[in-house]
Amino acid sequence: MVWWLAATVLFGLLMALFAIGLPAAFAFFGINAVGAWVWLGGDPGLVQMIRNGVASISSFSLTPIPFFVLMGEVLFHTGVAMKAIDAIDRLIWRVPGRLSVVAVVAGTVFSAISGSTIATTALLGSLMLPEMLRRGYHPSMAMGPIMAIGGVDMLIPPSALTVLLGSLAGISIAELLIAGILPGVLLSAAFVAYIVVRAALDPALAPLFEHERLPAWDRWRPLLVYVMPLVIIFVVVVLAMTAGWATPTESAAVGAVATVAVAWIYGSVSWSNLLKALLGTAGISGVILFIIVGATTFAQILTFSGATNGLVEAIQGADLAPLVVLGIMMLILLVLGCFIDQVSMMLITLPFFMPLVQHYGFDPVWFGVCFLICMQLGLLTPPFGMLLFTMKSVAPKQIAMQQVFAAVTPYVVFGVLMLLVVIAFPPVATWLPRVLFGK
């Protein structure tokens, strides 16, 4: 079978399975079963598929995923996250669009401790959205920042999806985690600036209301008590990785245990909420890892069918400028992001993209950050942006899906701009890891 026919059949079947609503993991298993039979030698190929499936997730490089997720789940289920948000709420006042700004700042802090974009969005959405709408905030002013900052969670470590990208693409996980910090923080800052300007120009979008004036100590104390320990955990996790005291897995495990310890010191941990946090962790990690079970076999089938080499050689032979190739890759990711989930995106594209990255001599960490920004945008773009659905599920009933779509649009534009900035100025992504890892 010629490579383009093999590629068309494989991807056509995969898309058909996605379209009839089969869960993504099972769609990959189905393709793998058919592909293993056709290209990996029938019966032995299918036995190999099982072995590959187990091997693809028995990897030390993937173990940070549940631990990073656990950090966020613990904060969420023990209520410590709410106390942190409240602490930030006390500090920000007399700013146009105050509650939206609080959401972005709290979301940024929470990102630095949570490995799960969905936990961040669900948390801020369920806690802050009702209050914002009650205060007469326009739905776009209320929902947009929460979804946007949920997406940024993917860039700011700890991040489960960054670990996965590093592991699947063979990019240094520690460097990739660090490389996301600067673009993530810049995006948060841009969101705050946008909210303030917009609310100042049109105060009806975010009506001002009298905020309780507290003495200085009452304003700052909760920050010291509830936010500083979280920031310290973040610094320790990042330091342990960069200083070489611990691998990403070990840093993640220490971070998770430290988060439980901090919550315990606040007296917020009970057996029941700890079990809820662990179950949530098993659920979220299980969803990601179950899709990965198909990873190795899927990549092998793409190789054996000739699809990988055929497409990669065709692109190399087309004599395109490296930047054009990069642009095409990013465009593919942005389009895929509208329809499929982040893990599937990685599985489908990385077998093709990484040989091209190597061929054109792109810095893998820089490429990884561009990839992450595209995936982050995929969380926010209709019709299948995961955070849009998360927001819809925690928003009051009268909010229509169209309003959710409209609310997120300006922030998607910021994300695209950030992608262009990183492409044009690679140090935005590569400077921090270079300084910290001394390369």
Partner 1 sequence: MGRAYRGLLHACAVIAALLLGVTALLVTGDVVARNVGLGTLPWILEVSEYVLPLATFLVAPWLLARNEHVRLDVLLTALPAPLARALGRTGDLLGLAICAVFVIYGARAIASSAQQGSLVIKSVVFPEWWLYAPVPACFGLLAIEFARRLLGHGGPPVATGPHA
Side-chain-facing half-sphere of 81: CA atoms under 13 Å: 30
Which residue of 17, 142, 174, 311 would you call a contact of partner 1, by CB under 8 A? Answer: 17
Query: Segment near partner 1 (CB under 8 A), from 203-211, 298-306, 345-353, 382-390?
Result: 382-390
Residue 288 near partner 1 by CB under 8 A = yes
Q: Lay out the site mask for partner 1 across 151-180 (x = CB under 8 A, - = otherwise).
A: --------xxx-------------------
- Residues 111-150 contacting partner 1, CB under 8 A: 115-118
Which residue of 9, 11, 22, 126 would you call a contact of partner 1, by CB under 8 A? Answer: 22
Q: How many residues bind partner 1 (CB under 8 A)?
A: 73
DSSP characters over 60-93: GGGTHHHHHHHHHHHHHHHSHHHHHHHHHHHH--
Supply the minimum distance, in Å, between the C-beta of residue 235 and partner 1: 16
Which residue of 275, 324, 417, 420 would you call a contact of partner 1, by CB under 8 A? Answer: 275
Cα separation, 51 vs 85, in Å, equals 46
SS3 content of the chain, % helix, strand, coil (to 5): 80, 0, 20
Host H or E run for residue 359: helix 342-359
Supply the minimum distance, in Å, between the C-beta of residue 389 and partner 1: 5
Three-state secondary-structure class, residue 437:
helix
Q: Which of 110, 66, 59 is nearest to 287 (CA)?
A: 66
Supply the minimum distance, in Å, between the C-beta of residue 37 and partner 1: 9
Q: Which of 188, 149, 182 is nearest to 390 (CA)?
A: 149
- Residues 291-320 contacting partner 1, CB under 8 A: 291, 293
Which residue of 9, 38, 46, 231 would you call a contact of partner 1, by CB under 8 A? Answer: 46
Which residue of 166, 180, 184, 280 would you call a contact of partner 1, by CB under 8 A? Answer: 280
Query: Segment near partner 1 (CB under 8 A), from 105-113, 138-146, 217-225, 272-280?
Result: 272-280
Query: Segment near partner 1 (CB under 8 A), from 134-142, 194-202, 281-289, 364-372?
Result: 281-289
Supply the minimum distance, in Å, between the C-beta of residue 354 and partner 1: 21
Cα separation, 55 vs 167, in Å, equals 13
Looking at beta carbons only, is 40 or 423 nearer to partner 1?
40
State both tokens at 334: 């942005």
Residues near 172 by Cβ (< 8 Å), separated by ≥ 6?
166, 364, 365
DSSP characters over 204-232: GGS---------HHHHHHHIIIIIHHHHH
Cα separation, 57 vs 399, in Å, equals 39
Cα separation, 119 vs 150, in Å, equals 8
Query: Segment near partner 1 (CB under 8 A), from 57-65, 88-96, 302-310, 354-362?
Result: 57-65
- Residues 243-262 contacting partner 1, CB under 8 A: 245-246, 249-250, 253-254, 256-257
